[in-house]
Amino acid sequence: MRIKTGLITASAVSLCFATSAWTQALIPPRPAQPAPPPTAAAAPVTTPTPAPTPPPTATAKAPCANPDAIGVSRVVAIDTTGGPGFGFEHFKQLDFLRDKEVVLTFDDGPWPVNTPSVLKTLADECTKGLFFPIGKHATYYPEILKQVAEQGHTIGAHTWSHANLNNKKLTEAQQKDEIEKGFSAVAWALGAPPSPFFRFPALQHPPGMVTYLGERNIAIWSCDLDSFDFKASTAQKVIDTVMGKLDKLGKGIILMHDFQKHTAEALPALLKKLKAGGYKVVQIKAKAPVQTIAQYDEELQKSLKLPTVSTRPLSSVVQTISE
Ligand SMILES: [Zn+2]
């Protein structure tokens, strides 16, 4: 189903809004990281991604060692044809959750310490999440993102650099670059394309890009409730916000950040509270992986190589002038 741009209204500047200061602080400088390649031009979207290694196989129903675990109550497969949108903050049409069901979503990883901590908690609770990594972060820590996949979680994408795609300074080509390079970076890190699931940074949905994702058959994930974990001063505040909103809504797609320390700290107690409150976790899967665009895959590969060094012979570069 094609998402009509009319669905995206002024409410796009929503409760899920993140401050620009936070956004800028999100990606610390990495001296070892090569500069991103020049902006790519628009490209046809029909070229499939070469997959150098097979996708990590999700372990088939491993027995859960924790009898009190929240687990997974239901697995839902999404057909992303036409780019359906989910999350009542922006999309009201597709309401697939039953009463007391939640989807755990995690943005902005992979990141050291916090992402592995989130993974450990999810494993301890025998449950599954939906991750929206940032492309750059995926290139910094591909091994962490691989762990997310190996543990059977679902992975989409969240742009290359966490740019606010509603920023009027960005051209449409640059907006598309952010989306496509994000997917290519995640595919590079995993060695296989992720799910065709996308979340806009700060939940800023430019109508042109909503249409574009529809043409790309990529589903858009807003949220039903925002944990505001990036603003929370303690882990307890994350728990209180989520439980308070859930108790009003009765169910929902929960937006959290595996990038955030307080979220990682809050998650064990939060999952226990969810279970005690009668909530059940729904695992989301895609019917087919995303098709990345070859041009972006290639440019990413080039940008990740070490900078070209001089090919002059050693003797012409280093000479002994005194012994
Ligand atoms: Zn984000």
Cα 63 to the center of its chain, rounded Å: 27
Q: Where are the domains of the chain?
A: 71-317
Give the DSSP per-residue string, 177-243: HHHHHHHHHHHHHHTS---SEE--GGG---HHHHHHHHHTT-EEE--SEE--TTT-SSHHHHHHHHH
* Contact present, 201 and 230 (Cβ < 8 Å): no
3-state percent helix, strand, coil for the chain, nearest multiple of 5? 35, 10, 50
CA–CA distance, 41 with 44 (Å, rounded to integer): 10
> Which homologous superfamily does the CATH classification assign to the domain defined by 71-317?
Glycoside hydrolase/deacetylase (3.20.20.370)
* Contact present, 150 and 182 (Cβ < 8 Å): no
Residues with catalytic roles: 107, 257
% of the chain at pLDDT higher than 90: 71
Does residue 30 carry a pLDDT above 50? no
CA of 162 to the centre of ligand 1 (A): 6
CA of 67 to the centre of ligand 1 (A): 33
Which has the minimum average pLDDT: 94-98, 179-183, 193-197, 238-242?
Answer: 94-98
CA of 312 to the centre of ligand 1 (A): 44
pLDDT, tens digit, 9 for 90 and up, residues 146-163 = 999 999 999 999 999 999
CA of 130 to the centre of ligand 1 (A): 13
pLDDT, tens digit, 9 for 90 and up, residues 249-268 = 999 999 999 999 999 999 99
CA–CA distance, 189 with 115 (Å, rounded to integer): 15
CA–CA distance, 235 with 257 (Å, rounded to integer): 12
Single pTM value for the model? 0.78
Which has the minimum average pLDDT: 22-26, 61-65, 318-322?
Answer: 22-26
